[in-house]
Structure 1
Amino acid sequence: MSLSERIIGSNQGLLAEMVQLKYTAMSENAFRFFRGTCELFYQDLKLFKQLPASPLAWICGDLHVENFGSYKADNDQVYFDLNDFDEALLAPVAFELVRMLTSIFLCFDFLELEEVKAMNMVQVFLKNYAVVLTTGKALAIEPRIAKGIVNTFLQAVCKRKQSRILEKRTEVRKRKVVISLKDERHFELEEEFKKELTGHLTDWIKLHNKSPYNYKVKDAVFRLAGTGSVGTKRFMFLLESELKRGKYLIIDMKQSQPSALIPFVKVKQPIWATESERVVFAQELCQHMPCALLSHTNFKGDSYVIKEMQPTEDKIKFRLIQDQYRDIYQVIDDMASLTAYSHLRSSGRKGSAIADELIEFGQQQDWQEQLIDYAFNYSKRVKKDYKIFKQGYESGIYSKGKITNTPFVVFSDK
């Protein structure tokens, strides 16, 4: 099967117009191409028979340097942690680690940093991951204990006000605060569909124990965000307090798809009522504290994850610190700790290895070089595949993919 057939096949069933935007994003550079082709990564990983044996854990499934960030939890504390669990599954931890290592090689290449620095950094990541595993204790990274650039980052996001996100996402139209359609990531909804959607969220607010009580829905749009998830149905809602005029919340509602790992993980999985139940279970388990309002719902035959969008949500922008090697070192070191904490938190749950098995794995050394070698070689393959994809994209191959569209999004330039 050709690369183009594999890519088009992995995006079947998604929203056609949005998939075209995904392809555009993937054409920017090899690192973003990697972020948009998680399924291809696992198709190729299946062929690598010598991947070292490793304990089972609840893994993020799509771990890379852009899937760590800040968020506010239900306890109003801001944390730095893993923050994307769309692909989460019970799987060998080696799967998680080798994808993360590959992302470091590709990110450093994107930043035009020397290959030797990337190699040093993947060694730093694995060394600290193993050391943290051997402690058997899962901690958290929050402003009071964060170090270096991560501390500076968290202190900065803590000072942001809700007005910041409102200024970026909303506008006043006909004397009403609504979600801005000037943002190229926001798309207008058909009126009848919008009515059904806002009615569903209104019911969720009234009936769900995780919902923000005494709020009403004021507006809704289709939202475009990320890279790998572009093409899924995703909506953003503006809510206003019924008790305090002018107090707003913004809610994200994202469709969940089956995990890209499912065909390649030969481990019996729990039976979930919906894909969103799986995602929320893994996120609640693996994060120190789940993000605010995290829950799931079903709408018109699809399942969705719901969470609050916050001014404290952000990612480390590596482009801004590419000349600050010590800061990059600290960030990668912290990401290694967070990955180990995540696996330790999931220990002994629904088939995952107990903490003692993870500790023993961390004490071993032989598996580290094997993962580094695979990630290094695979990063070279990703760059070659990216060049082939870019040529195909520019020649129009990917505009011919016949992907079933759905009628509810109205593309408007209002």
Structure 2
Amino acid sequence: MPKISFSNRAGFLNATRTLKMARSAHAYVRGNTAKFYEWLQEAPEARRVPAGPAIWICGDCHVGNLGPIANVAGRVEIQIRDLDQAVIGNPAHDLIRLGLSLATAARGSDLPGVTTAFMIEEMVEGYAAAMNDPISGDPGIEPEAVRAVRRRALGRRWRHLARERLDDVEPRIPLGRKFWALSDEERASLTALFSDIDLAKRILAFKHQDEAQAIHLLDAAYWMKGCSSLGLARYAVLIAIRNKGGKTSYALIDLKEATDPLAPTAQDVTLPLDNAERVHAAARALSPNLGDRMIPVRMMDRSFFIRELAPQDLKIEIDQFNEKQAARAARYLAFVVGRAHARQMDQPARADWVAKLERDRRSSIDAPSWLWESVVALAGRHEAGYLEHCRQYALSAVANDRRTSNADGE
């Protein structure tokens, strides 16, 4: 693969994002947060969505944004792992987004439509269980997709992270498909940022900060990662830490640009003006394991949040599952989201919100009708949007092939 220069990044990122979203309807949902809220606002079913308590919500609550996250001591829990879109808003939006994500995953697994109905029922049960008792509530049987990724997370060490992210355990970042060369301004800005020893020590969630005698930036690169976030500035930084005994260890740091959220904010609330501060505040509320490891900074007149990557930080991938696993996953993941919401409410607020959810059950499916109807309507809209996206992608590919053929003929 040719090296990606600073000048042609934008075009390559856009093409990559388009390709990723064309791979499946589930990938299209993951990469299209803007369309989700646009369609949700337009859908008649949205008028019946209840207004929950104004709390921090994920804002982009799809399956891929949940997974094992290590805290500063290395203990692992399943939490929300991406808060780019987080706002103080309506928790019902997270439920609809999760339901849509699960529904498209079920369709991608060729499961019958009735399975989606069972999943939505189990989602409501899991979410209510977390609301009723966020400490000791029953999340149900842990689904195999979650159990497998948890086992992987618990057994991982630095060498696994290095081989996965860096292709080697040697202290360098290999340029290529994922990592690209920096501009002079980017390299200078990163060098200046990590020359602040106090800030650098604060980032080291998994090292003994008081034992770090010296911290040195070894290597850095632009990081092409994700789907919905492609196009935002993102950097991988490899640092060396020398302790009092002269021993050197390494840490991989993730810097991600924070921009304005797409999720709607609740009325009469004020979010932090700086977007990295917003993401940090949301993470502390929704995912303490992540929030305690995150630092907001300014660099190149833009807002970034920084964290040290842990080997245990993984995302849940559901490419294929059966009917039983689908129902278990729906209950379990909704419990995780419910617990993140519930920790921000007192008991009366939780009880009131559960009562609102229970108030709108229907006879044909044991779940709120607004949730079921919203997921069904949005699934149809996203399927149509996905097919149109694929058509446009195919037309673009044909046009590119023709241009290449004409150039070769000349």
- The 5-angstrom pairing of residues 6-405 of structure 1 reads 15-48=10-43, 49-56=46-53, 57-135=55-133, 137-138=134-135, 147=142, 149=144, 150-170=146-166, 177-182=171-176, 184-203=177-196, 205-207=197-199, 210-212=202-204, 213=209, 214=212, 215-243=215-243, 245-262=247-264, 265=265, 267-290=267-290, 293-319=293-319, 322-323=321-322, 325-347=323-345, 354-366=349-361, 368-396=368-396
Q: 3-state SS of the aligned residue for 2:186?
A: helix
Q: 3-state SS of the aligned residue for 2:289?
A: coil
For 2:74, the aligned partner's letter is: D
Could you tell me how far apart the structure 1 residues matched to 2:202 and 2:248 are? Answer: 22
Report deviation, 1:74. 1.3
Is the alpha carbon distance of 1:171 and 1:111 closer, same or farther for their aligned partners in structure 2, counting shifts above 3 Å? closer
Which structure 2 segments of 5+ residues have no match? 1-8, 362-366, 401-410
Could you tell me how far apart the structure 2 residues matched to 1:170 and 1:281 are? Answer: 30
Is the alpha carbon distance of 1:292 and 1:140 closer, same or farther for their aligned partners in structure 2, counting shifts above 3 Å? farther
Q: Which runs of 4+ in 1 moved over 6 A?
A: 397-400
Q: 1:236-282, CA deviations, whole angstroms, 9 ceiling, x for partnerless residues?
A: 011111125451110100001111024xx451332413101011101
Counting matched residue pairs gives 372
Q: Contact 1:239–1:250 at 8 Å: present in 2 too?
A: yes
Q: 1:75-118, CA deviations, whole angstroms, 9 ceiling, x for partnerless residues?
A: 32011111111111111122111111111111111222222212
Is the alpha carbon distance of 1:146 and 1:369 closer, same or farther for their aligned partners in structure 2, counting shifts above 3 Å? closer
Q: Contact 2:255–2:307 at 8 Å: present in 1 too?
A: yes
Could you tell me how far apart the structure 2 residues matched to 1:185 and 1:67 are? Answer: 20
For 1:158, the aligned partner's letter is: L
Q: Contact 1:187–1:223 at 8 Å: present in 2 too?
A: yes
Could you tell me how far apart the structure 2 residues matched to 1:209 and 1:171 are? Answer: 26
Report deviation, 1:155. 2.9
For 1:129, the aligned partner's letter is: Y
TM-score after normalising by structure 1: 0.81
Is the alpha carbon distance of 1:364 and 1:133 closer, same or farther for their aligned partners in structure 2, counting shifts above 3 Å? farther
For 2:254, the aligned partner's letter is: D
Is the alpha carbon distance of 1:357 and 1:397 closer, same or farther for their aligned partners in structure 2, counting shifts above 3 Å? farther
Could you tell me how far apart the structure 2 residues matched to 1:100 and 1:222 are? Answer: 30
CA-based RMSD = 2.9
Report deviation, 1:127. 2.3
TM-score after normalising by structure 2: 0.82
Q: 2:364 aligns to what?
A: none
For 2:256, the aligned partner's letter is: K
Q: 1:403 aligns to what?
A: none
Q: 3-state SS of the aligned residue for 2:42?
A: coil
Percent identity over paired residues = 19
Q: Contact 1:122–1:372 at 8 Å: present in 2 too?
A: yes
Could you tell me how far apart the structure 2 residues matched to 1:164 and 1:71 are? Answer: 16
Could you tell me how far apart the structure 1 residues matched to 2:148 and 2:137 are? Answer: 16
For 1:202, the aligned partner's letter is: S
Could you tell me how far apart the structure 1 residues matched to 2:337 and 2:399 are? Answer: 37
Could you tell me how far apart the structure 2 residues matched to 1:198 and 1:64 are? Answer: 35
Q: 1:38-70, CA deviations, whole angstroms, 9 ceiling, x for partnerless residues?
A: 111111211235232231221100011111111
Q: Contact 1:124–1:333 at 8 Å: present in 2 too?
A: yes
Is the alpha carbon distance of 1:180 and 1:301 closer, same or farther for their aligned partners in structure 2, counting shifts above 3 Å? same
Could you tell me how far apart the structure 2 residues matched to 1:140 and 1:253 are? Answer: 35
Could you tell me how far apart the structure 2 residues matched to 1:388 and 1:305 are? Answer: 35
